[in-house]
Structure 1
Amino acid sequence: MNAYAVIDIGGTAIKYGCATEEGRFLEKASCPTQAREGGIPEKVIAIVQDMASRHALVGVAIDTAGIVRPGEDGEIVFAGEATFPGYSGTKLGRLVREAVHLPVLVENDVNAAALGEAWLGAARGASSAFMITVGTNLGGCFVQQGRVWHGASFSAGEIGYLRLHNEKRILEDVASTRAMIREAAFSHNMSPSEITGEMVFDWAREGDEEAMASIEELACNLGEGLAAVCCLLNPEVIVLGGGVMAQHEILGPLLEKRLEQLVMPAMRAKTRLAFAALGNDAGMLGALCALLEQEKNK
Protein backbone atom coordinates (compact mmCIF):
# COMPACT_ATOMS: atom_id res chain seq x y z
CA MET A 1 0.00 0.00 0.00
CA ASN A 2 1.51 3.32 -1.09
CA ALA A 3 1.22 6.27 1.29
CA TYR A 4 1.27 9.96 0.35
CA ALA A 5 1.59 13.16 2.34
CA VAL A 6 -1.30 15.46 1.38
CA ILE A 7 -1.18 19.09 2.49
CA ASP A 8 -3.64 22.00 2.16
CA ILE A 9 -2.20 25.49 2.75
CA GLY A 10 -4.82 28.08 3.64
CA GLY A 11 -4.63 31.57 5.03
CA THR A 12 -5.50 30.43 8.56
CA ALA A 13 -4.50 26.79 8.80
CA ILE A 14 -2.39 24.14 7.12
CA LYS A 15 -4.44 20.96 7.00
CA TYR A 16 -2.54 17.78 6.27
CA GLY A 17 -2.77 14.04 6.30
CA CYS A 18 -1.46 10.75 5.02
CA ALA A 19 -3.57 9.07 2.36
CA THR A 20 -3.46 5.95 0.21
CA GLU A 21 -3.58 6.08 -3.58
CA GLU A 22 -7.30 5.25 -3.34
CA GLY A 23 -7.88 8.44 -1.34
CA ARG A 24 -8.32 6.80 2.05
CA PHE A 25 -6.87 8.81 4.93
CA LEU A 26 -4.59 7.08 7.40
CA GLU A 27 -4.28 10.19 9.56
CA LYS A 28 -5.26 13.87 9.52
CA ALA A 29 -4.21 16.94 11.50
CA SER A 30 -3.74 20.71 11.17
CA CYS A 31 -1.60 23.57 12.42
CA PRO A 32 -1.73 27.39 12.13
CA THR A 33 -0.37 28.79 8.87
CA GLN A 34 0.96 32.01 10.43
CA ALA A 35 1.63 33.18 6.90
CA ARG A 36 2.62 36.68 7.99
CA GLU A 37 5.60 35.15 9.76
CA GLY A 38 6.74 33.42 6.56
CA GLY A 39 8.41 30.05 6.57
CA ILE A 40 5.65 28.12 4.79
CA PRO A 41 8.10 25.85 2.91
CA GLU A 42 9.87 25.03 6.18
CA LYS A 43 6.53 24.18 7.85
CA VAL A 44 5.58 21.89 4.97
CA ILE A 45 8.97 20.16 5.02
CA ALA A 46 8.70 19.60 8.77
CA ILE A 47 5.20 18.10 8.34
CA VAL A 48 6.44 15.71 5.64
CA GLN A 49 9.51 14.67 7.59
CA ASP A 50 7.45 13.98 10.68
CA MET A 51 4.94 11.96 8.67
CA ALA A 52 7.76 10.00 7.04
CA SER A 53 8.79 8.79 10.48
CA ARG A 54 5.47 6.92 10.71
CA HIS A 55 4.71 6.01 7.09
CA ALA A 56 6.73 4.87 4.07
CA LEU A 57 5.86 7.89 1.91
CA VAL A 58 6.17 7.73 -1.87
CA GLY A 59 5.06 11.28 -2.73
CA VAL A 60 3.85 14.68 -1.54
CA ALA A 61 0.71 16.38 -2.87
CA ILE A 62 0.16 20.03 -1.93
CA ASP A 63 -2.65 22.46 -2.62
CA THR A 64 -2.30 26.10 -1.70
CA ALA A 65 -3.90 29.50 -1.94
CA GLY A 66 -2.54 31.65 -4.76
CA ILE A 67 -1.99 31.33 -8.49
CA VAL A 68 0.22 28.28 -8.99
CA ARG A 69 2.36 27.06 -11.85
CA PRO A 70 1.58 23.38 -11.22
CA GLY A 71 4.03 20.55 -11.30
CA GLU A 72 7.11 19.50 -9.39
CA ASP A 73 8.57 23.02 -9.13
CA GLY A 74 5.20 24.27 -7.93
CA GLU A 75 5.90 27.99 -8.25
CA ILE A 76 3.56 30.39 -6.47
CA VAL A 77 3.07 32.83 -9.34
CA PHE A 78 1.01 35.23 -7.24
CA ALA A 79 -0.36 35.38 -3.70
CA GLY A 80 -1.88 38.43 -2.06
CA GLU A 81 0.70 40.29 -0.01
CA ALA A 82 -1.86 41.19 2.65
CA THR A 83 -2.41 37.52 3.51
CA PHE A 84 0.78 35.83 2.26
CA PRO A 85 3.60 38.38 2.35
CA GLY A 86 6.65 37.24 0.40
CA TYR A 87 4.98 34.04 -0.83
CA SER A 88 4.78 35.07 -4.50
CA GLY A 89 7.67 33.63 -6.50
CA THR A 90 8.30 30.78 -4.05
CA LYS A 91 9.15 27.54 -5.85
CA LEU A 92 7.42 25.51 -3.19
CA GLY A 93 7.52 22.19 -5.02
CA ARG A 94 11.22 22.38 -5.70
CA LEU A 95 12.06 23.34 -2.12
CA VAL A 96 10.04 20.47 -0.69
CA ARG A 97 11.34 17.94 -3.24
CA GLU A 98 14.97 18.81 -2.59
CA ALA A 99 14.44 18.52 1.16
CA VAL A 100 12.53 15.24 1.33
CA HIS A 101 13.71 13.53 -1.89
CA LEU A 102 10.21 12.49 -2.99
CA PRO A 103 8.01 13.32 -6.00
CA VAL A 104 6.05 16.50 -5.30
CA LEU A 105 3.09 18.20 -6.96
CA VAL A 106 1.71 21.64 -6.08
CA GLU A 107 -1.68 22.88 -7.27
CA ASN A 108 -3.97 25.85 -6.57
CA ASP A 109 -6.48 25.11 -3.80
CA VAL A 110 -9.67 25.63 -5.82
CA ASN A 111 -8.28 23.67 -8.76
CA ALA A 112 -7.37 20.86 -6.40
CA ALA A 113 -10.81 20.90 -4.77
CA ALA A 114 -12.43 20.63 -8.20
CA LEU A 115 -10.19 17.68 -9.06
CA GLY A 116 -11.06 16.03 -5.76
CA GLU A 117 -14.79 16.38 -6.40
CA ALA A 118 -14.31 15.05 -9.94
CA TRP A 119 -12.32 12.07 -8.66
CA LEU A 120 -14.23 11.01 -5.56
CA GLY A 121 -16.97 13.55 -4.91
CA ALA A 122 -20.01 15.26 -6.36
CA ALA A 123 -18.71 15.23 -9.96
CA ARG A 124 -17.49 11.65 -9.92
CA GLY A 125 -18.10 10.02 -13.30
CA ALA A 126 -18.78 13.31 -15.11
CA SER A 127 -16.76 14.04 -18.24
CA SER A 128 -16.64 17.76 -17.45
CA ALA A 129 -17.26 19.83 -14.34
CA PHE A 130 -17.00 23.42 -13.21
CA MET A 131 -16.57 23.99 -9.49
CA ILE A 132 -17.28 27.29 -7.80
CA THR A 133 -16.37 27.93 -4.17
CA VAL A 134 -18.44 30.57 -2.41
CA GLY A 135 -16.99 32.19 0.67
CA THR A 136 -15.54 35.59 1.48
CA ASN A 137 -14.37 35.45 -2.14
CA LEU A 138 -15.35 33.35 -5.17
CA GLY A 139 -13.10 30.79 -6.80
CA GLY A 140 -13.64 28.56 -9.80
CA CYS A 141 -12.12 25.78 -11.87
CA PHE A 142 -13.03 23.82 -14.99
CA VAL A 143 -12.11 20.14 -15.13
CA GLN A 144 -12.44 18.10 -18.33
CA GLN A 145 -11.68 14.38 -18.57
CA GLY A 146 -10.07 14.55 -15.14
CA ARG A 147 -7.71 17.41 -15.97
CA VAL A 148 -7.73 21.05 -14.90
CA TRP A 149 -7.95 23.70 -17.58
CA HIS A 150 -5.25 26.03 -16.25
CA GLY A 151 -5.26 28.76 -18.91
CA ALA A 152 -2.32 30.62 -20.40
CA SER A 153 -1.33 32.28 -17.12
CA PHE A 154 -2.62 29.55 -14.79
CA SER A 155 -5.64 31.65 -13.76
CA ALA A 156 -8.48 30.09 -15.76
CA GLY A 157 -11.76 29.71 -13.91
CA GLU A 158 -11.39 32.83 -11.74
CA ILE A 159 -15.12 33.52 -11.90
CA GLY A 160 -14.98 35.91 -8.96
CA TYR A 161 -13.37 38.55 -11.20
CA LEU A 162 -16.11 38.35 -13.84
CA ARG A 163 -17.79 41.70 -14.55
CA LEU A 164 -21.51 41.82 -15.26
CA HIS A 165 -23.52 44.55 -17.00
CA ASN A 166 -20.52 46.86 -17.30
CA GLU A 167 -20.44 47.30 -13.52
CA LYS A 168 -17.36 48.57 -11.75
CA ARG A 169 -17.88 45.77 -9.26
CA ILE A 170 -16.84 42.19 -9.93
CA LEU A 171 -18.97 39.11 -9.30
CA GLU A 172 -17.52 38.31 -5.87
CA ASP A 173 -18.49 41.83 -4.74
CA VAL A 174 -22.16 40.92 -5.19
CA ALA A 175 -22.29 37.11 -5.02
CA SER A 176 -20.07 36.14 -2.10
CA THR A 177 -20.96 35.34 1.49
CA ARG A 178 -19.44 38.70 2.33
CA ALA A 179 -21.96 40.43 0.05
CA MET A 180 -24.91 38.58 1.60
CA ILE A 181 -23.77 39.46 5.12
CA ARG A 182 -23.30 43.08 4.11
CA GLU A 183 -26.87 43.30 2.78
CA ALA A 184 -28.35 41.57 5.82
CA ALA A 185 -26.40 43.80 8.20
CA PHE A 186 -27.63 46.95 6.43
CA SER A 187 -31.27 45.86 6.58
CA HIS A 188 -30.96 45.00 10.29
CA ASN A 189 -29.03 48.16 11.21
CA MET A 190 -26.06 46.09 12.37
CA SER A 191 -22.36 45.89 11.59
CA PRO A 192 -21.28 43.08 9.25
CA SER A 193 -18.81 42.03 11.94
CA GLU A 194 -21.76 41.12 14.17
CA ILE A 195 -23.27 38.67 11.67
CA THR A 196 -22.33 35.31 10.23
CA GLY A 197 -23.72 33.63 7.16
CA GLU A 198 -25.28 30.95 9.32
CA MET A 199 -27.16 33.62 11.27
CA VAL A 200 -28.65 35.03 8.08
CA PHE A 201 -30.02 31.61 7.09
CA ASP A 202 -31.34 30.99 10.61
CA TRP A 203 -33.20 34.31 10.47
CA ALA A 204 -34.66 33.42 7.08
CA ARG A 205 -35.93 30.07 8.41
CA GLU A 206 -37.63 31.97 11.24
CA GLY A 207 -39.52 34.08 8.71
CA ASP A 208 -37.27 37.15 8.54
CA GLU A 209 -38.14 38.61 5.12
CA GLU A 210 -35.13 40.94 4.99
CA ALA A 211 -32.73 38.08 5.68
CA MET A 212 -34.42 36.03 2.97
CA ALA A 213 -34.10 38.97 0.58
CA SER A 214 -30.34 39.06 1.12
CA ILE A 215 -30.12 35.32 0.38
CA GLU A 216 -32.23 35.76 -2.75
CA GLU A 217 -29.95 38.58 -3.88
CA LEU A 218 -26.94 36.30 -3.43
CA ALA A 219 -28.61 33.56 -5.48
CA CYS A 220 -29.69 36.03 -8.16
CA ASN A 221 -26.18 37.39 -8.66
CA LEU A 222 -24.46 34.03 -8.32
CA GLY A 223 -26.91 32.61 -10.83
CA GLU A 224 -25.71 35.13 -13.41
CA GLY A 225 -22.17 33.86 -13.01
CA LEU A 226 -23.33 30.25 -13.29
CA ALA A 227 -25.32 31.13 -16.41
CA ALA A 228 -22.12 32.45 -17.98
CA VAL A 229 -20.43 29.14 -17.14
CA CYS A 230 -23.26 27.24 -18.80
CA CYS A 231 -22.99 29.33 -21.95
CA LEU A 232 -19.21 29.29 -22.23
CA LEU A 233 -18.32 25.79 -21.05
CA ASN A 234 -21.52 23.72 -21.10
CA PRO A 235 -20.24 21.42 -18.32
CA GLU A 236 -21.96 18.20 -17.37
CA VAL A 237 -22.07 19.31 -13.74
CA ILE A 238 -21.54 22.53 -11.78
CA VAL A 239 -20.29 21.77 -8.27
CA LEU A 240 -21.11 24.34 -5.59
CA GLY A 241 -18.68 24.44 -2.67
CA GLY A 242 -17.77 26.68 0.24
CA GLY A 243 -19.26 26.98 3.70
CA VAL A 244 -22.45 28.75 2.65
CA MET A 245 -23.32 25.92 0.28
CA ALA A 246 -24.11 23.74 3.28
CA GLN A 247 -27.44 25.62 3.07
CA HIS A 248 -28.33 23.77 -0.10
CA GLU A 249 -31.98 23.20 0.83
CA ILE A 250 -32.54 26.96 0.49
CA LEU A 251 -29.95 27.86 -2.16
CA GLY A 252 -30.54 24.89 -4.46
CA PRO A 253 -34.07 25.81 -5.60
CA LEU A 254 -33.17 29.51 -5.91
CA LEU A 255 -30.16 28.78 -8.14
CA GLU A 256 -32.07 26.26 -10.26
CA LYS A 257 -34.81 28.81 -10.84
CA ARG A 258 -32.30 31.52 -11.76
CA LEU A 259 -30.60 29.28 -14.31
CA GLU A 260 -33.97 28.43 -15.84
CA GLN A 261 -34.55 32.16 -16.28
CA LEU A 262 -31.17 32.92 -17.83
CA VAL A 263 -30.10 29.88 -19.86
CA MET A 264 -32.02 28.54 -22.84
CA PRO A 265 -33.34 25.01 -22.26
CA ALA A 266 -31.25 23.40 -24.99
CA MET A 267 -28.05 24.69 -23.36
CA ARG A 268 -29.19 23.93 -19.81
CA ALA A 269 -30.59 20.44 -20.41
CA LYS A 270 -27.40 18.44 -19.87
CA THR A 271 -25.92 20.53 -17.02
CA ARG A 272 -26.85 19.65 -13.46
CA LEU A 273 -26.08 21.41 -10.20
CA ALA A 274 -24.48 19.44 -7.38
CA PHE A 275 -23.22 20.39 -3.95
CA ALA A 276 -19.66 19.55 -2.94
CA ALA A 277 -19.37 16.25 -1.10
CA LEU A 278 -15.80 16.10 0.22
CA GLY A 279 -15.71 19.11 2.55
CA ASN A 280 -12.26 20.13 3.76
CA ASP A 281 -10.69 17.02 2.25
CA ALA A 282 -11.42 17.99 -1.36
CA GLY A 283 -8.23 19.97 -1.95
CA MET A 284 -5.93 17.36 -0.46
CA LEU A 285 -7.58 14.57 -2.43
CA GLY A 286 -7.48 16.59 -5.65
CA ALA A 287 -3.78 17.34 -5.21
CA LEU A 288 -3.22 13.62 -4.66
CA CYS A 289 -5.15 12.86 -7.85
CA ALA A 290 -2.93 15.28 -9.78
CA LEU A 291 0.23 13.76 -8.29
CA LEU A 292 -0.87 10.26 -9.25
CA GLU A 293 -1.50 11.45 -12.81
CA GLN A 294 1.87 13.20 -12.92
CA GLU A 295 3.72 10.07 -11.82
CA LYS A 296 1.76 7.84 -14.18
CA ASN A 297 2.74 10.01 -17.14
CA LYS A 298 6.48 10.03 -16.37
Structure 2
Amino acid sequence: MYICMDIGGTAIKYGTADANGVLITQDAMPTEALSHGGPGIVQKVCHIVESLRGDAAEGVAISTAGMVDTASCTITYALPSSIPNYTGTNWRTVIEGRFSLPCSVENDVNCAALGELWKGAGKGAKSLFAITVGTSIGGCLIVDGHVVHGTSASAGEIAYMRVPSGRLHENCSATRLVKDVERTKALPEGSLDGKQVFALLDEGDASAKDAVEALIASLADAITNIVCVANPDCIILGGGIMAREAVLRPLLEARLRERLVPSVYGATKVAFAATQNTAGMLGALYHFLQEHRVHS
Protein backbone atom coordinates (compact mmCIF):
# COMPACT_ATOMS: atom_id res chain seq x y z
CA MET A 1 0.00 0.00 0.00
CA TYR A 2 1.25 3.44 -0.97
CA ILE A 3 0.38 6.89 0.38
CA CYS A 4 -0.33 9.30 -2.47
CA MET A 5 -0.61 13.10 -2.30
CA ASP A 6 -1.36 15.93 -4.67
CA ILE A 7 -0.31 19.27 -3.15
CA GLY A 8 -1.92 22.28 -4.81
CA GLY A 9 -2.26 25.89 -3.81
CA THR A 10 -5.86 25.38 -2.68
CA ALA A 11 -6.12 21.76 -1.50
CA ILE A 12 -4.01 18.75 -0.61
CA LYS A 13 -5.66 15.64 -2.05
CA TYR A 14 -4.44 12.42 -0.49
CA GLY A 15 -5.20 8.75 -0.17
CA THR A 16 -3.85 5.23 -0.34
CA ALA A 17 -3.49 2.96 -3.36
CA ASP A 18 -2.11 -0.42 -4.33
CA ALA A 19 0.64 -1.01 -6.88
CA ASN A 20 -1.96 -1.42 -9.64
CA GLY A 21 -3.17 2.15 -9.17
CA VAL A 22 -6.41 1.20 -7.45
CA LEU A 23 -7.25 3.94 -4.97
CA ILE A 24 -8.28 2.46 -1.64
CA THR A 25 -9.01 5.68 0.23
CA GLN A 26 -9.33 9.33 -0.83
CA ASP A 27 -9.67 12.58 1.07
CA ALA A 28 -8.62 16.23 0.96
CA MET A 29 -7.83 19.16 3.21
CA PRO A 30 -7.24 22.87 2.57
CA THR A 31 -3.63 23.74 1.79
CA GLU A 32 -3.87 27.17 3.43
CA ALA A 33 -0.77 28.00 1.42
CA LEU A 34 -0.82 31.76 1.84
CA SER A 35 -1.46 31.73 5.58
CA HIS A 36 0.89 28.88 6.56
CA GLY A 37 3.32 28.60 3.64
CA GLY A 38 5.76 25.78 3.06
CA PRO A 39 6.26 24.92 6.75
CA GLY A 40 2.50 24.57 7.16
CA ILE A 41 2.34 22.20 4.19
CA VAL A 42 5.13 20.09 5.67
CA GLN A 43 3.21 19.88 8.93
CA LYS A 44 0.01 18.84 7.14
CA VAL A 45 1.77 16.22 5.04
CA CYS A 46 3.45 14.72 8.08
CA HIS A 47 0.08 14.53 9.82
CA ILE A 48 -1.39 12.72 6.80
CA VAL A 49 1.47 10.23 6.60
CA GLU A 50 1.27 9.56 10.33
CA SER A 51 -2.46 8.89 10.09
CA LEU A 52 -2.23 6.59 7.05
CA ARG A 53 1.02 4.69 7.30
CA GLY A 54 0.05 1.89 9.70
CA ASP A 55 2.21 -1.20 9.20
CA ALA A 56 1.46 -1.63 5.52
CA ALA A 57 2.76 1.57 3.90
CA GLU A 58 5.55 0.94 1.42
CA GLY A 59 6.23 4.52 0.39
CA VAL A 60 4.98 8.06 -0.09
CA ALA A 61 4.33 9.43 -3.59
CA ILE A 62 3.99 13.21 -3.85
CA SER A 63 2.69 15.42 -6.65
CA THR A 64 3.24 19.09 -5.93
CA ALA A 65 3.00 22.59 -7.29
CA GLY A 66 6.35 24.22 -7.97
CA MET A 67 9.53 23.29 -9.81
CA VAL A 68 10.97 20.01 -8.58
CA ASP A 69 14.38 18.36 -8.57
CA THR A 70 13.14 14.77 -8.74
CA ALA A 71 16.56 13.28 -7.96
CA SER A 72 16.82 14.99 -4.57
CA CYS A 73 13.04 15.39 -3.96
CA THR A 74 13.55 19.13 -3.49
CA ILE A 75 11.30 22.05 -4.40
CA THR A 76 13.72 24.20 -6.41
CA TYR A 77 11.25 27.05 -6.89
CA ALA A 78 7.70 27.89 -5.84
CA LEU A 79 6.12 31.23 -6.59
CA PRO A 80 6.14 33.15 -3.29
CA SER A 81 2.80 34.73 -4.10
CA SER A 82 1.27 31.24 -4.38
CA ILE A 83 3.14 29.21 -1.75
CA PRO A 84 5.52 31.33 0.34
CA ASN A 85 8.56 29.73 1.96
CA TYR A 86 8.16 26.48 0.02
CA THR A 87 11.28 26.81 -2.13
CA GLY A 88 14.05 24.59 -0.75
CA THR A 89 11.76 22.08 0.95
CA ASN A 90 13.40 18.66 0.75
CA TRP A 91 10.70 16.02 0.95
CA ARG A 92 13.17 13.13 1.12
CA THR A 93 14.67 14.55 4.29
CA VAL A 94 11.19 15.10 5.75
CA ILE A 95 9.61 11.76 4.85
CA GLU A 96 12.55 9.40 5.05
CA GLY A 97 14.01 11.13 8.08
CA ARG A 98 10.81 11.11 10.10
CA PHE A 99 9.01 7.99 8.92
CA SER A 100 11.75 5.79 7.41
CA LEU A 101 9.66 5.46 4.26
CA PRO A 102 10.94 5.92 0.71
CA CYS A 103 9.39 8.82 -1.18
CA SER A 104 9.28 10.37 -4.61
CA VAL A 105 8.32 13.89 -5.70
CA GLU A 106 7.30 15.23 -9.09
CA ASN A 107 5.71 18.43 -10.40
CA ASP A 108 1.91 18.37 -10.40
CA VAL A 109 1.45 18.94 -14.15
CA ASN A 110 3.91 16.13 -14.87
CA CYS A 111 2.04 13.88 -12.45
CA ALA A 112 -1.29 14.68 -14.08
CA ALA A 113 0.25 13.68 -17.42
CA LEU A 114 1.61 10.43 -15.97
CA GLY A 115 -1.78 9.68 -14.45
CA GLU A 116 -3.43 10.10 -17.85
CA LEU A 117 -0.78 7.91 -19.48
CA TRP A 118 -1.26 5.15 -16.92
CA LYS A 119 -4.99 5.17 -16.30
CA GLY A 120 -6.58 7.82 -18.48
CA ALA A 121 -6.88 9.21 -21.99
CA GLY A 122 -3.23 8.52 -22.85
CA LYS A 123 -3.29 4.82 -22.07
CA GLY A 124 -1.22 2.93 -24.63
CA ALA A 125 0.42 6.03 -26.15
CA LYS A 126 4.14 5.86 -26.87
CA SER A 127 4.35 9.64 -26.63
CA LEU A 128 1.99 12.35 -25.47
CA PHE A 129 1.92 16.00 -24.56
CA ALA A 130 -0.45 16.95 -21.76
CA ILE A 131 -1.72 20.51 -21.39
CA THR A 132 -3.51 21.88 -18.34
CA VAL A 133 -5.49 25.09 -18.71
CA GLY A 134 -6.29 26.73 -15.39
CA THR A 135 -5.17 29.87 -13.62
CA SER A 136 -2.14 29.59 -15.90
CA ILE A 137 -1.22 26.97 -18.49
CA GLY A 138 1.19 24.08 -18.06
CA GLY A 139 2.52 21.23 -20.15
CA CYS A 140 4.38 17.94 -20.01
CA LEU A 141 6.00 15.80 -22.69
CA ILE A 142 6.15 12.05 -22.07
CA VAL A 143 8.15 9.72 -24.31
CA ASP A 144 8.27 5.94 -23.79
CA GLY A 145 6.59 6.25 -20.41
CA HIS A 146 8.96 8.84 -18.95
CA VAL A 147 8.67 12.59 -18.45
CA VAL A 148 11.07 14.64 -20.55
CA HIS A 149 12.49 17.12 -18.06
CA GLY A 150 15.08 18.92 -20.20
CA THR A 151 18.46 20.36 -19.23
CA SER A 152 17.08 22.78 -16.65
CA ALA A 153 14.06 20.66 -15.70
CA SER A 154 11.84 23.12 -17.56
CA ALA A 155 10.74 21.11 -20.59
CA GLY A 156 7.02 21.52 -21.14
CA GLU A 157 6.82 24.97 -19.52
CA ILE A 158 4.57 26.23 -22.30
CA ALA A 159 3.32 29.21 -20.27
CA TYR A 160 6.44 30.96 -21.62
CA MET A 161 5.86 29.91 -25.25
CA ARG A 162 5.45 32.69 -27.77
CA VAL A 163 2.42 32.52 -30.04
CA PRO A 164 1.16 35.19 -32.49
CA SER A 165 -0.91 36.86 -29.74
CA GLY A 166 2.03 37.01 -27.30
CA ARG A 167 3.18 34.87 -24.39
CA LEU A 168 0.88 31.86 -23.96
CA HIS A 169 0.20 32.43 -20.25
CA GLU A 170 -1.10 35.90 -21.07
CA ASN A 171 -3.48 34.63 -23.77
CA CYS A 172 -4.57 31.13 -22.83
CA SER A 173 -5.71 30.75 -19.24
CA ALA A 174 -8.81 30.97 -17.10
CA THR A 175 -7.45 34.26 -15.79
CA ARG A 176 -7.30 35.81 -19.28
CA LEU A 177 -10.68 34.37 -20.28
CA VAL A 178 -12.44 35.90 -17.29
CA LYS A 179 -10.68 39.26 -17.59
CA ASP A 180 -11.59 39.53 -21.26
CA VAL A 181 -15.29 39.07 -20.55
CA GLU A 182 -15.22 41.44 -17.58
CA ARG A 183 -13.52 44.11 -19.66
CA THR A 184 -15.90 43.74 -22.61
CA LYS A 185 -18.92 43.91 -20.32
CA ALA A 186 -17.40 46.77 -18.26
CA LEU A 187 -17.58 44.74 -15.05
CA PRO A 188 -15.25 45.22 -12.06
CA GLU A 189 -12.33 42.80 -11.86
CA GLY A 190 -13.31 39.75 -9.85
CA SER A 191 -16.98 39.90 -10.87
CA LEU A 192 -16.86 36.61 -12.80
CA ASP A 193 -15.25 33.18 -12.69
CA GLY A 194 -14.76 30.54 -15.37
CA LYS A 195 -18.04 28.75 -14.69
CA GLN A 196 -19.95 32.00 -15.06
CA VAL A 197 -18.22 32.75 -18.34
CA PHE A 198 -19.33 29.39 -19.73
CA ALA A 199 -22.83 29.96 -18.39
CA LEU A 200 -22.88 33.19 -20.38
CA LEU A 201 -21.60 31.29 -23.41
CA ASP A 202 -24.44 28.80 -23.07
CA GLU A 203 -26.86 31.73 -23.11
CA GLY A 204 -25.37 33.00 -26.37
CA ASP A 205 -23.49 35.95 -24.88
CA ALA A 206 -21.30 37.53 -27.59
CA SER A 207 -18.50 38.65 -25.24
CA ALA A 208 -18.14 35.14 -23.80
CA LYS A 209 -18.15 33.65 -27.31
CA ASP A 210 -15.40 36.02 -28.48
CA ALA A 211 -13.26 35.36 -25.39
CA VAL A 212 -13.54 31.57 -25.68
CA GLU A 213 -12.73 31.68 -29.39
CA ALA A 214 -9.65 33.84 -28.69
CA LEU A 215 -8.47 31.39 -26.04
CA ILE A 216 -8.94 28.44 -28.40
CA ALA A 217 -7.04 30.24 -31.17
CA SER A 218 -4.03 30.70 -28.86
CA LEU A 219 -4.30 27.10 -27.66
CA ALA A 220 -4.37 25.88 -31.27
CA ASP A 221 -1.25 27.95 -32.02
CA ALA A 222 0.53 26.32 -29.07
CA ILE A 223 -0.55 22.81 -30.03
CA THR A 224 0.64 23.44 -33.58
CA ASN A 225 4.08 24.41 -32.26
CA ILE A 226 4.19 21.35 -30.00
CA VAL A 227 3.16 18.99 -32.79
CA CYS A 228 5.73 20.49 -35.17
CA VAL A 229 8.54 19.92 -32.66
CA ALA A 230 7.58 16.71 -30.84
CA ASN A 231 4.94 15.08 -33.11
CA PRO A 232 3.43 13.08 -30.21
CA ASP A 233 0.84 10.33 -30.59
CA CYS A 234 -1.59 12.26 -28.46
CA ILE A 235 -2.38 15.72 -27.09
CA ILE A 236 -4.29 15.53 -23.80
CA LEU A 237 -6.17 18.56 -22.50
CA GLY A 238 -7.01 18.99 -18.82
CA GLY A 239 -7.73 21.66 -16.25
CA GLY A 240 -11.00 23.27 -15.22
CA ILE A 241 -11.77 24.96 -18.53
CA MET A 242 -11.19 21.80 -20.55
CA ALA A 243 -14.02 20.03 -18.72
CA ARG A 244 -16.33 21.61 -21.33
CA GLU A 245 -15.29 19.21 -24.11
CA ALA A 246 -18.61 19.32 -25.97
CA VAL A 247 -18.25 23.07 -26.43
CA LEU A 248 -14.49 23.28 -26.96
CA ARG A 249 -13.65 20.28 -29.12
CA PRO A 250 -15.39 21.50 -32.32
CA LEU A 251 -13.78 24.94 -31.98
CA LEU A 252 -10.33 23.49 -31.38
CA GLU A 253 -10.52 20.90 -34.15
CA ALA A 254 -11.54 23.58 -36.63
CA ARG A 255 -8.55 25.75 -35.66
CA LEU A 256 -6.11 22.82 -35.77
CA ARG A 257 -7.39 21.74 -39.17
CA GLU A 258 -6.48 25.22 -40.45
CA ARG A 259 -2.98 25.10 -38.98
CA LEU A 260 -1.70 21.56 -39.44
CA VAL A 261 -0.80 19.64 -42.59
CA PRO A 262 -3.69 17.21 -43.25
CA SER A 263 -1.59 14.08 -42.71
CA VAL A 264 -0.29 15.44 -39.40
CA TYR A 265 -3.74 16.56 -38.26
CA GLY A 266 -5.16 13.13 -39.08
CA ALA A 267 -2.42 11.31 -37.17
CA THR A 268 -2.57 13.43 -34.01
CA LYS A 269 -5.13 12.29 -31.46
CA VAL A 270 -6.62 15.08 -29.35
CA ALA A 271 -8.11 13.78 -26.11
CA PHE A 272 -9.61 15.36 -23.04
CA ALA A 273 -8.41 14.26 -19.59
CA ALA A 274 -10.26 11.26 -18.17
CA THR A 275 -8.87 10.82 -14.65
CA GLN A 276 -10.03 14.24 -13.42
CA ASN A 277 -9.26 14.86 -9.72
CA THR A 278 -7.29 11.64 -9.25
CA ALA A 279 -4.72 12.28 -12.01
CA GLY A 280 -2.16 13.89 -9.70
CA MET A 281 -2.24 11.11 -7.12
CA LEU A 282 -2.15 8.37 -9.75
CA GLY A 283 0.70 10.08 -11.57
CA ALA A 284 2.63 10.52 -8.34
CA LEU A 285 2.28 6.80 -7.68
CA TYR A 286 3.31 5.89 -11.23
CA HIS A 287 6.40 8.07 -10.81
CA PHE A 288 7.18 6.42 -7.47
CA LEU A 289 6.92 2.96 -9.04
CA GLN A 290 9.27 4.05 -11.83
CA GLU A 291 11.78 5.61 -9.44
CA HIS A 292 11.84 2.61 -7.14
CA ARG A 293 11.49 0.05 -9.95
CA VAL A 294 8.35 -1.51 -8.55
CA HIS A 295 6.39 -3.49 -11.15
CA SER A 296 2.67 -2.73 -11.19
Instruction: Please classify the TM superposition score into its range, dividing by the shorter chain length.
Output: over 0.9
Alignment of 1:170-189 (within 5 A): 170-189=167-186
The offset of 1:9, in angstroms, is 0.7
**AA matched with 1:42:** Q
**AA matched with 1:11:** G
The offset of 1:102, in angstroms, is 1.2
Residue of structure 2 in register with 1:270 after alignment: 267
Alignment of 1:1-298 (within 5 A): 3-36=1-34, 37-38=36-37, 39=39, 40-53=41-54, 56-71=56-71, 73-165=72-164, 169-296=166-293
2:124, 2:68 → 1: CA distance? 26
Residue segments in structure 2 that go unaligned for 5+ positions in a row: none
DSSP 3-state at the match of 1:296:
coil
1:47, 1:218 → 2: CA distance? 38
**AA matched with 2:15:** G
Q: Which has the higher contact order (CA 8 A, sep 6+)?
A: 2
Q: Is the 8 A contact 2:95 2:102 kept in 1?
A: no
Q: Is the 8 A contact 1:44 1:96 kept in 2?
A: no
Identity of aligned residues (%): 41
The offset of 1:164, in angstroms, is 2.2
1:66, 1:211 → 2: CA distance? 31
Residue segments in structure 1 that go unaligned for 5+ positions in a row: none
Mean CA deviation greater in 230-239 or 84-93: 84-93
The offset of 1:267, in angstroms, is 2.6
After superposing on structure 2, the runs of 4+ consecutive aligned residues of structure 1 that deviate more than 6 Å are: none
2:216, 2:189 → 1: CA distance? 19
| Matched length | 292
Q: Normalized against structure 1, the TM-score is what?
A: 0.94
**AA matched with 1:52:** R
Question: What is the CA RMSD across the aligned residues, in angstroms?
Answer: 1.5
2:294, 2:201 → 1: CA distance? 50
1:192, 1:149 → 2: CA distance? 38
Could you say if the C-alpha distance between residues 223 and 284 of structure 1 is closer, same or farther in structure 2, counting changes exceeding 3 Å? same
2:284, 2:163 → 1: CA distance? 32
The offset of 1:297, in angstroms, is 7.1
1:93, 1:182 → 2: CA distance? 40
**AA matched with 2:12:** I
Deviations 1:53-72 (A, max 9, x none): 3x61101100100010114x
**AA matched with 2:9:** G
The offset of 1:221, in angstroms, is 1.0
Deviations 1:8-57 (A, max 9, x none): 1111111100111111111111112122323222321221111013x611
